[in-house]
Amino acid sequence: MATEQEPRTGQATPAGMGRHVPNAGSAAAAEIEQARSTMLSDVKPRNRTRIGADALCEALLRQSVDTVFGYPGGVILPLYDVWGDYPGLRHVLVRHEQGAAHAADGYARASRKVGVCLGTSGPGATNLVTGIATAQLDSIPMVAITGNVPGALIGKDAFQEIDITGITLPMTKHNYLVRSADDIPRVIAEAFHVARTGRPGPVHVDITKDALTSETRADHPDTIDLPGFKPTFEGHPRQIRVAAEAIQAAKRPVILAGHGILLGDAMDELIAFAEKTQIPIAHTLLGIGAIDERHPLSYGYMGMHGWKHVNKAIQSADLLIALGMRFDDRVTGKVSTYAPRARIVHVDIDPSEIGKNVAVDVPIVGDVKRVLRALTPLMTLRAPEERAAYFAELAEWRSASEGVSWHGSGAWKDGLLSADYVVQRLGELTNHDATLVADVGQNQMWVARYAGFRRPDSHVSSGGLGTMGFALPAAMGAALGRPDKEAWAVAGDGGFQMVSQELMTCVADNIPVKIALMDNKKLGMIRQWQEIIYGGNYHSSTLPGPDWAKLCDAYGLPCFRARTPEEVDPAIRAAQAYDGPAMVWFETAETQNVLPMMPAGKGLSDLIETWEGEEA
């Protein structure tokens, strides 16, 4: 989006006979003409006064921003023109704006800071949209900044103009159209406050070109006044007492730990509460990392591709304690048959999540960390022995379900490389301490099930939106957001081909992302659904890919290849040993399925655990 077309108007107009302009002679018409010339002029404001673009850079620095992922274009150029004057701001030039948005997202998830991405108007802005939506569905704090055409041209279908705030309105926590340089300091401060406060989320700030280029003396605000944005942090004491009584009385309680535990930094409080009450913890996809999976009370991953024992525990529970999760359909399946005997205590900082998907018996609106801090002292200390029968049953279910659909030998069938084995070894060889960024599909479910997570923020995944192509750019962000941790993108060959251009960003900026390419030459999850649900009608799920070694060679990074279980460890180690971005090309079995699986529209008790017709 870096080019502007040559002006088509204005040539060959007889002198003194200007082209007809609607409302000619009026102040508005003069302003529009002025804006048109601003848009095309190649302003180089050296030896300059402070302009809107400066105010923006200062505002970012005030919010401790150090890294911004972006892509230049016509109307955002004034910002790039001053960028060099702010050495504290690193700009990572991506190869597609979607990469910028995912990278800012991955940066935020790995570092717990607000991620920032940048694009120009029109296509630059629309290319950010998928990444902003991904952040919205997963409650990721992000500020997306776009340029727009000069204010007077808005609504004229100017070059690269689109109503981007209209587009992002339903998929952001809030958005702004800034038309005056004087508003930039206040808006940026508000945007960061809204993005990070309460339930986090993306905020989009669209700034007109003339706002970026106008002189401004506006100061950065010390305070923010948003009467319509006052999240509730403290849970209501009466509701907390009611919850405590329900928990005290429960015989088969299960904690459902969601992303809110991580977003709310409530890992310690979760464990303190669970240990005191001796209640097992199941987690959602984005709740991975809320508890070390080796903890005796960690029972595992729930939902559509979750462990059968976990879903069974939920279905037979008499009380669910939902903490910072939102009863997504991938978690509940058919709501009418979900946990039929359970009362539900639901703690969430966003009141709209309570009662949205399931009716709740004890709602508590509040920050999960503070609610747990208030709740735990009300609970009676329990010994594990008090729940001996319950725990024995859970343990039996667990060992039964962990023995099924697990190809721990490395060879799935006919010696073909098993994808779950690859993921398991990846977890082990990175000491379960790397940031593993999953893409979407089978690879994502294998990562969630078999990598083995111990550290908060070590698992990054596009849960709500399920955005294919997420892994590589998000891993770039994760690598820069947590430079002390190895960052691995685990992607299928399908999702990776959506964003493979970002390999060049990794090489050019020396972002040390390691890529585990799970190449089954298929859209694996599509193929699995076609096999199990669509009677083997395999349309458009076979996906020829490039010679990945040659592709890596062209981009200038090494590619290590593994086709058998024996080749897995050396390939991973070689990539780890390489100083810089590197790919491991795993050629995995082509028709392996992720099991168990809850077919869409079915309930948690309808899990398909084994599939006979695997040899399709």
Partner 1 sequence: MAAMNDPLAAPVAAPIERYVPGTGQQHRHTIVVLVNDRPGVLNRVASLTRARNFNIESLAVGHTERPGISRMTITLRGDSFAVEQMAKQLYRLIDVLKVQDLPAEGVVEHELALIKVKATNHTRAEVLKVVELYKGRILDIGNDTVIVEHSGTEQEIDSLVALLGGFGIREMVRTGSVAMSRGSGVVDIEGILRSGTVPAVPTTIHPEEGNR
Positions annotated as catalytic residues are 97, 159-160, 209, 525
Minimum distance, C-beta of residue 319 to partner 1, in the bound complex (Å): 10
Establish if 291 lies at the interface with partner 1 (CB under 8 A).
Answer: no
Establish if 582 lies at the interface with partner 1 (CB under 8 A).
Answer: no
Nearer to partner 1, 14 or 170 (CB): 170
Nearer to partner 1, 168 or 424 (CB): 168
Closest CA to 594 of 476, 433, 418: 418
Q: Catalogue the E-assigned strands of 234-277.
A: 253-257
With the CA atoms of 284, 288, 289 and 290 taken in that order, what torsion angle do they form, in degrees rounded to the nearest 10?
0
Tokens at 439, concatenated: 């893409």
Sign of the torsion formed by the C-alpha atoms of 404, 407, 413 and 417: positive
Find the binding residues for partner 1 in span 247-276 (CB under 8 A).
Answer: 251-252, 263, 265
Tokens at 110, concatenated: 């790995």
Find the binding residues for partner 1 in span 208-237 (CB under 8 A).
Answer: 220-230
Q: What are residue 206's phi and psi, to 5 degrees?
A: -105, 125
Letters for 293-332 (x = contact with partner 1 by CB under 8 A, - = none) are -----------------------x-x--------------
Q: Which helix (H) or strand (E) holds 146?
A: strand 142-148
Letters for 502-531 (x = contact with partner 1 by CB under 8 A, - = none) are ------------------------------
Nearer to partner 1, 165 or 442 (CB): 165
Nearer to partner 1, 28 or 224 (CB): 224
Contacts of 362 (CB under 8 A, 6+ apart): 239, 242, 243, 246, 343, 344, 345, 346
Please choose, out of 14-22, 387-395, 542-550, 570-578, the segment that lies near partner 1 by the rule CB under 8 A: 387-395
Establish if 389 lies at the interface with partner 1 (CB under 8 A).
Answer: yes
Interior/surface letters 79-111, b for 16+ CB within 10 angstroms, e for the rest: bbbbbeebeebebbebbbbbbbbbbbbbbbbbb
Letters for 127-156 (x = contact with partner 1 by CB under 8 A, - = none) are --------------x---------------
**Among the listed residues 95, 102, 193, 454, the single contact to partner 1 using CB under 8 A:** 193
Minimum distance, C-beta of residue 526 to partner 1, in the bound complex (Å): 27
Establish if 403 lies at the interface with partner 1 (CB under 8 A).
Answer: no
Q: Which helix (H) or strand (E) holds 362?
A: strand 362-365
Q: What is the 3-state secondary structure (H, E, C) of 430-442?
A: CCCCCEEEECCCH
Minimum distance, C-beta of residue 516 to partner 1, in the bound complex (Å): 27
Minimum distance, C-beta of residue 369 to partner 1, in the bound complex (Å): 12
Tokens at 299, concatenated: 């029972």
**Among the listed residues 95, 196, 398, 425, the single contact to partner 1 using CB under 8 A:** 196
Query: Number of residues in contact with partner 1, rule: CB under 8 A?
Result: 64
Nearer to partner 1, 5 or 336 (CB): 336
Most distant CA pair in the chain, distance: 96
Q: What are residue 110's phi and psi, to 5 degrees?
A: -80, -30
Contacts of 584 (CB under 8 A, 6+ apart): 514, 515, 516, 517, 559, 560, 561, 562, 571, 572, 574, 575
Nearer to partner 1, 215 or 350 (CB): 350
**Among the listed residues 85, 396, 553, 590, the single contact to partner 1 using CB under 8 A:** 396
Q: Catalogue the E-assigned strands of 475-536.
A: 487-492, 513-519
Tokens at 486, concatenated: 């190895």
Find the binding residues for partner 1 in span 12-71 (CB under 8 A).
Answer: 62-64, 66
Nearer to partner 1, 143 or 490 (CB): 143
Q: Which helix (H) or strand (E) holds 320?
A: strand 319-323
Minimum distance, C-beta of residue 254 to partner 1, in the bound complex (Å): 13
8 Å CB contact between 162 and 122: yes
Closest CA to 413 of 221, 592, 270, 190: 592
Establish if 392 lies at the interface with partner 1 (CB under 8 A).
Answer: yes
CA 100 to chain centre: 12
8 Å CB contact between 294 and 432: no
Nearer to partner 1, 188 or 372 (CB): 188
Nearer to partner 1, 251 or 294 (CB): 251
Minimum distance, C-beta of residue 439 to partner 1, in the bound complex (Å): 24
Find the binding residues for partner 1 in span 325-364 (CB under 8 A).
Answer: 335-343, 350-352, 354-359
Closest CA to 436 of 395, 503, 509, 487: 487
Minimum distance, C-beta of residue 275 to partner 1, in the bound complex (Å): 22
Return residues touching partner 1 (CB under 8 A). Answer: 62-64, 66, 108, 111-114, 141, 165-166, 169-170, 173-174, 177, 189, 192-194, 196-197, 200, 220-230, 251-252, 263, 265, 316, 318, 335-343, 350-352, 354-359, 389-390, 392-393, 396
